[in-house]
Amino acid sequence: MSLAVRIIPCLDVRGGRVVKGINFKDIVDAGDPAEAAKRYDAEGADEICMLDIDASFEERSTTIETVKSIASQVFIPFTVGGGIKSLKDIDMLLKSGADKVSINTSAILNPDLIVEASKEYGAQCIVLAIDAKQDGKIWNVYSHGGKNKTDLNAVEWAKKGQDLGAGEILMTSMDKDGTKSGFDNDLYAQLSKNLSIPVIASGGAGELYHLVDAVKLGKADALLAASIFHYEEISIKKVKQALQREGFEVRF
Amino acid sequence: MRLGVIDYGASNIHSVARALQSLGSKVSIVDTPDKFKSIDKLVFPGQGSMGSCVKKLKETEMITPLLDAIKSKPFLGICLGLQILFNSSEESKEKGLGVINGSITKIKDINNENLKIPHMGWNNVKIEKKHQLFSGIEDKQFFYFVHSFVASSTETSITTTHYGEEFVSSLSNENIFATQFHPEKSGEIGLKFLENFINWKI
């Protein structure tokens, strides 16, 4: 017996509404976050992730309301990310009902935030989110929602994040995100080889076999996807059945 | 009936309180010694290390009322709330409450499976002994875990789970029940378990 492969539907939220873009652009409205979270829970999601895209200080109160609304109705682990800059932000989100927070740009600008947050709330609470784009044999890290290229190498940065105290790595392949052409399994295989903390693969899910391959070839511990679940193109149950057929442990 | 959820200032008690409230329970937060009196049943969600937890309980003068409540009221310890019942833990020098005999140890990777620690995620819970709190819950259901330390064995064991080694995923002794998993994060089955605790008659 081992741990079940986790299937994590992601809600990209802006201004209290679920939205979905392709390649980090072209945003469309896709419904109420709490309703979506409840539906996912009923369908067998193992966790819920909510990313507040371009969350700004002014929108913080909307985010908090959305977090509270989801947390009072859904009783599985719940990760919230987007615009987190300080321990105060983390504290507020955890108090509102998040179980984990996902930190991206702020960790790049201020790696100490991971150290401090991990010390204060425990590593299990801190997810380091990374947006990466392939360039030849390496993957570059992008900050600010994929807008700015940094000097960081994605695999190296993930390793550093683990050393700083992150409990999980959420790696999004910008090349694959929204394309429905499969996960970047080379990237995930490299990560799994180099890390001792769980890796969540994100970006590129389109067909059932893509998700299976991310676990089989990419050795991902968890799979995160937004649109395929949101538009009911593939059900969570079907993904789990496919994984089970390949011999992986799943939770029904 | 009033359920008390202990808040010693370091653990995220809100998810437990919310889950109990969603089941229709009246929940009070117990964060001072005097608040133990009006409580019929007690839930102790724990997070962090045993050392800091015991220290905080001492600072808030809640050790004595907590021990009294553990002796007399239906009690549910969750995660660190299970571990703290034991005599000691490898995790810290600070002693536990000593209500259950034995000690807490770091998860052992017996078969060199290259385990990731903490044990975080959904794992099977094997029912070893029948108990009211598992009524309506089938054997080998998945519950959600987040921890690095375990109780390897105890006579009070109700369920076991395998991760690196076989460990105690829940235990019970008279009015005490404790789980290593997080029922408040274990979806529908977790809620069923909490409902059983709410209805638990000793």
Write out pLDDT tens, residues A92-118.
999 899 999 999 999 999 999 999 999
Which pLDDT band holds residue A41 (cuts at 50, 70, 90)?
very high
Reported as a single tens digit per residue, the pLDDT across A111-147 is 999 999 998 888 889 999 999 999 999 999 999 989 9
Report in angstroms the alpha-carbon separations of A29 from A33, A66, A178. 11, 16, 15
pLDDT value at position B114? 78
Interface of A with B (CB under 8 A): 1-4, 6, 41, 46, 71-73, 75-77, 94-95, 97, 99, 122-124, 167-168, 196-198, 221-222, 251-252
pLDDT value at position A24? 53
What positions of A carry a catalytic annotation? 12, 131
Query: Which residues are B127's β-sheet partners?
Result: B159
Distance from the Cα of A149 to chain B's closest Cα (Å) equals 31
pLDDT value at position A23? 52
> At residue A57, does pLDDT exceed 70?
no
pLDDT value at position B102? 96
For residues B41-50, give the mean pLDDT: 88
**pLDDT above 90 covers what percent of chain A?**
78
A40 or A1: which leads in pLDDT: A40
Which pLDDT band holds residue A31 (cuts at 50, 70, 90)?
confident
- CB of B116 less than 8 A from some CB of A: yes
Residues of B (13-52) whose Cβ lies below 8 Å from A: 14-15, 18-19, 21-22, 47-48
* Cα–Cα distance measured from residue A229 to residue A74, given in angstroms and rounded to the nearest whole number: 17
CB neighbours (10 Å) of residue B165? 17
Domains in chain B, number: 1
CA nearest to B113 within chain A: A2
Reported as a single tens digit per residue, the pLDDT across B16-35 is 999 999 999 999 999 999 99
Residues 6+ apart with CB under 8 A from B5: B13, B16, B17, B20, B27, B28, B29, B30, B43, B44, B45
A251 located within any domain: no
Nearest CB to B142: which of A4, A97, A196?
A4
Which pLDDT band holds residue A59 (cuts at 50, 70, 90)?
low
Please indicate whether, in this complex, the C-beta atoms of B14 and A123 are within 8 angstroms of each other.
no
Best of B20, B79, B122 to disrupt the A interface (most A CBs within 10 Å) is B122
Which residue range(s) make up the domain with B147? 2-198
Omega before B118 within 30 of 0, i.e. cis: yes
End-to-end CA distance of chain B: 14
Q: How many helices and strands in chain A, by DSSP H and E?
A: 10, 12
Amino acid at B145: F
Query: Which residues are A202's β-sheet partners?
Result: A172, A224
Query: Which residues are B29's β-sheet partners?
Result: B5
Q: Which CATH number belongs to the domain containing residue A102 in this structure?
A: 3.20.20.70
Domains in chain A, number: 1
pTM of the model: 0.92
Please indicate whether, in this complex, the C-beta atoms of B120 and A124 are within 8 angstroms of each other.
yes
Reported as a single tens digit per residue, the pLDDT across A201-242 is 999 999 999 999 999 999 999 999 988 888 788 999 999 999
Q: Which CATH number belongs to the domain containing residue B108 in this structure?
A: 3.40.50.880
For residues A45-49, give the mean pLDDT: 97
For residues A186-211, give the mean pLDDT: 95
Nearest CB to B146: which of A46, A124, A252?
A124
A250 located within any domain: no
Among residues A123, A144, A146, the alpha carbon closest in space to that of A202 is found at A146
